Structure 1
Amino acid sequence: MIVVEMAQNSTGIDLERVRESVERSGKSCRVVSGREASYIVASDGTDTSGVSALPGVRKVNAVSCCYPLASRAVRPGSRPVEIAPGVVLGEGDPVVMAGPCAVESRDQLLETALAVRKAGARILRGGAFKPRSHPYAFQGLGSEGIALLKEARKASGLPVITEVMSPEEAEWVAPHVDILQVGARNMQNFSLLKVLGRLDRPVLLKRGMAATVEEWLQAAEYILAGGNDRVILCERGIRSFDQNTRNTLDLGVIPLLKSLTHLPVVADPSHATGRRDLVLPMSLAAIAAGADGLLVEVHCDPGAALCDGPQSLDPEEFSRLMTAAKRIMEAVREEGTPWERMLAR
């Protein structure tokens, strides 16, 4: 594929001139207008001999992968994602997002929110809409849950992340939260991804339960192609044959993604393992592997949780995780992650 990156001072006329030049070569192309830069993405075989000399063109990239806007071939460096003032994913120490799998009540959410903030979490997670395998399981509080998340954000000072499952949900929820989450089951919900590409909100995209890395990055490309460049990838475990854990946390994918894409990468050890006793060690391993953040389930009373209690930490357990995580962060800061050392060779 060919990706034409426009200069920041380019005009709409410049962009249209480049588009017409590419289309005259007989190839289809797509204009992507991002917050930081605009691109024209064209199919293979486009003759670009005259394109690079046109006014407003910064660079012309030939890319062999099928996720050009997500690739380091187009953007060599990492692209941090700002969530709120002072909260940036992909820059500095890993950011921990913590809270209940599902918003159940005002007291439950506020107690948990204040506890995770005290322990050092930077973002509050909480599900208002819950996609469940069992149709009779608790499906979340919906709009009431969103209202409670807004209240918890005000009380704790933490930005919030919540999952959306449909284009309609994404559009009305976006103004009320700080990050929109796409769950594993919706990774290839292309109608949802297209809408998220048009919204001015960071998007956390979880890996599908049986998705390849290429499929995952192509899903991210849908959002980027819509003009939304604030995409975060989340490894949440993939389905395997072993029943001792809920899923298999693919730690190797973290440094792999760092070599392929500029997008921040976080890990969800809660869904990956399904066991609270494994959440702490796998969190530390993810940080050591180079993760830009963690997504951890915390509940003020896991035994009474309406959703995923066995994998949820209580506030005391989460506090221990954060203490241990800080030690790993210090070591990583001093030595550098394996993928950073690899790229420095």
Structure 2
Amino acid sequence: MKKFINHVDDFLAESLAGFAAAHGDLVVLNREPVFVRRKDLKPGKVALISGGGSGHEPLHSGFVGHGMLDAACPGQIFTSPTPDQMMAAAKAVDTGSGVLFIVKNYSGDLMNFEMASEMSEVPNAMVLINDDVAVENSSYTTGRRGVAGAVIVEKLVGSLAESGASLDECKAFGDRINKRTASMGVAFSSCTVPAAGTLTFKIGDDEIEVGVGIHGEPGRRRAKFASADTIAAELLTAIVDDLKPPAGAGLLVLVNGLGGTPLGELYLLFNSTRAWLEKRDLKIARVQVGALTTSLEMAGASITLCMLDEQMTKHWDSAVHTPALRWGL
């Protein structure tokens, strides 16, 4: 294992210290319990909190700031944060209108966020992200997994919250976005969790894992390596079969790198995606390409489609200023 690391047990603390120092104009790091919060809180705004195991950066800490999250609770690598982190974060960022928890559907995350929701004295609600169409159940989840669709939910609901919407309005919007969003990924290689020091799974040089989860969970099938066009077609067929967008529907397309794939390859994958959608009269309204929901150094990518409407398009285009996403300011 070759990684920039001093001591395995200090990996998360040192990484967060560097993150907070690099983005001190935007975020503040709370060390006990650990969470990252927005530096400048907006009085009277519904606060958005997300979190999960580390190793998926920039998700979620990288999306703390204007127009997205008010706080993020990072756990150890691929390990859920604890309820005390979530409750402390909620207390720190609530400015009078309550807190919306945005949670990816993994058993540990869901259990701990539900505990925090029940025990917190801050009024709160929850949006559950389950955009992964690859498998219905795995050892990590009951139901579909939450993956890169979380970025879209956090951006759109974050914008709505900035506009002064209520907690109930933010939750309803988040639930609606989640229902209109679907994702699927593919892995070319495994990743290595620092504490383990070994590959999470083994895969042949000529193989790919179709439908892989962001922790290295098995997907739909192990297949032989294929062209970008072929891979994009399989992922998109599953996504479109799930979403069933009408012809001419405006789609937000997110091509997401899993950590070890160069940006040039991601743009090539988007080109394959664009061609596939255009042949089926499916309109691309907005595009985002980059490594936003990663799995350490795993090589591979995911494709996410979100069926936009006028309200959702407005909130995607609105100003955002976070360490990982920024435009319009």
- With normalisation by structure 1, the TM-score equals 0.30
- 1 or 2, which has the higher strand percentage? 2
Relative contact order higher in (CA < 8 Å, ≥ 6 apart): 2
Larger radius of gyration: 1
